[in-house]
Amino acid sequence: RALAGWRRTRRVRRCPPLPDFVLWALVGVLISEKSFTTAIACLIVFNCLLRPTEITKLTWHHIHINHLSGSALITLPNTKIGQRKQMIENVVVRDPILFKILNWGKNRFPPSSPLITSKNFNKTLKSILKILGVHHIPFQPRSFRRGGATFLYSQNMDLENMDIGSCRLKVF
């Protein structure tokens, strides 16, 4: 029975990591189109190494701003690991630019409004990549997480801290 799963053949869908310069170009287009929450969602996924399903479950209620420390805490509802281990995961945002953007958004959008839906994420990503002229590269929503990890690695973050790069905490 354990070996039965190995006999299944499934085509592997590869997607490259999203480079940081493509992220910033994408965010620039989104801001010019006044899609502020989508731009913020893209920055969060990249910087905090979130899975696409994690960002689509977030509302502004899940984002907590700490002005004293200049950081933000994002509570992640129903994560893959959180469900397995029956715990709530959090992400700490220490990037000063993303902190300012989150603080701005927290003061402007209703707490219950989602940052982005999964349908909107896929659709928006495809249309913006076409505008940028890189639609021939098979970027997917999970390319943000891979791109963020690649960027952190290129900034000499050691592999032991790569898990911490996703800033996962059991308690706050």
Q: Which of 108, 127, 129 is nearest to 119 (CA)?
A: 127
DSSP 141: T
Residue 160: per-residue pLDDT: 57
Residue 171: per-residue pLDDT: 38
Contact 15, 1 (CB under 8 A): no
* Amino acid, res. 59: T
**Residue 2 scores a pLDDT above 70:** no
- Return the H-helix or E-strand segment holding 145: helix 142-154
- Kindly indicate the confidence band of residue 117, based on its pLDDT and cuts at 50, 70 and 90: confident
Range 107-112 average pLDDT: 93
- Return the H-helix or E-strand segment holding 91: strand 89-93
Residue 118: per-residue pLDDT: 83
**Residue 165 scores a pLDDT above 50:** no
**Residue 129 scores a pLDDT above 80:** yes
Lowest mean pLDDT among 27-31, 111-115, 155-159, 167-171: 167-171
Task: Quote the tokens at residue 10.
Answer: 């499934």
Answer with the residue of higher pLDDT: 26 or 159.
26
Range 32-52 average pLDDT: 91
- Kindly indicate the confidence band of residue 7, based on its pLDDT and cuts at 50, 70 and 90: low
